[in-house]
Amino acid sequence: MIYCMADLHGERDWFEQMLKQIGFSNMDHLYILGDVIDRGPDGVTLLEQIMQAPNMTLLLGNHEQMCLSTLGPHNEYGARELWRQNGGMVTYRQLRYRCSLPQRNRILRFLSALPDHWDLTVGTQKFHLVHGCPGNDRHTRIWGRVEPGSVSPYPNTICIVGHTPTVFLTGRTGEDLSIWRGNGILNIDCGCGSRNAIHRRLACLRLDDMAEFYVGGANQNHR
């Protein structure tokens, strides 16, 4: 089976719950559409888990890009402050002060080699996976956001994205977030990284039959 998740944001407990719920095995493959790190406490641990898993593929998200822009070999002016404003300090401190230098360099090399999109076919259905928004340039694919009227730019292809919590597409603030289905585009970011949001969830989509799975939500977050 082929699965997709996005925007884990350091929530390893929810990630493990989801893997158990879907019965994830060595025969399956998981695509994660970026933003594994930041905000939650276990982003670096999640990265290392994904790095060691031959049946998990991580795409580059804007949070991984901010990490590279701050700690990578081509340090960009102002990158650390932008990263800090977006919840990156938990990852920054772990990489700078808790990881050994070889460990940090291994993680940064892994991040620098991540693809920013992925095309695959499951059965007869074509999919285009990307963190931000389908587009012709890297910035759009990492930082762009889909809108309620967005349409898949690729014929006969379903685009699956993350990055933008689906509540901003549906406007439904009083209910648990769920996968948004637009015109050839699906958004699977259900707010896992919004740690103070009572209706946030981690979503998973099975591409073989488009089944949806969820962890979190108001009932679980109240506990």
Torsion angle of alpha carbons 217, 162, 43, 85, nearest 10°?
-100
Supply the pLDDT for residue 150: 93
CA-CA distance, 16 to 178, in Å (whole number)? Answer: 19
| Token code pair at residue 217 | 């939500």
Q: How far apart are CA 30 and CA 47, in angstroms?
A: 14
CA 190, CA 35: separation in Å to the nearest integer?
13
* Separation of alpha carbons 102 and 81, rounded Å: 25
Question: Tell me: the pLDDT tens digits for 42-90?
Answer: 999 999 999 999 999 999 999 999 999 999 887 778 899 999 999 999 9
Residues of the chain with pLDDT under 50: 222-223
Helices (H), 123-162: 138-143
Instruction: Say if CB 128 and CB 160 are below 8 A apart.
Output: yes
User: What confidence score (pLDDT) does residue 221 get?
Assistant: 64
pLDDT at 223: 45
Query: Which pLDDT score, from 0 to 100, does residue 197 have?
Result: 84
Greatest pairwise CA separation for the chain in angstroms: 48
As its CATH architecture, domain 2-221 has: 4-Layer Sandwich (3.60)
Q: Where are the beta strands (DSSP E) in the chain?
A: 2-5, 29-32, 56-58, 117-122, 125-130, 157-161, 180-181, 185-187, 201-206, 211-216
pLDDT tens, position by position, 186-197 = 999 999 988 778
Residue by residue, what is the 3-state secondary structure of 55-81? CEEECCCHHHHHHHHHHCCCCCCCHHH
Q: Please count the residues of the chain.
A: 223
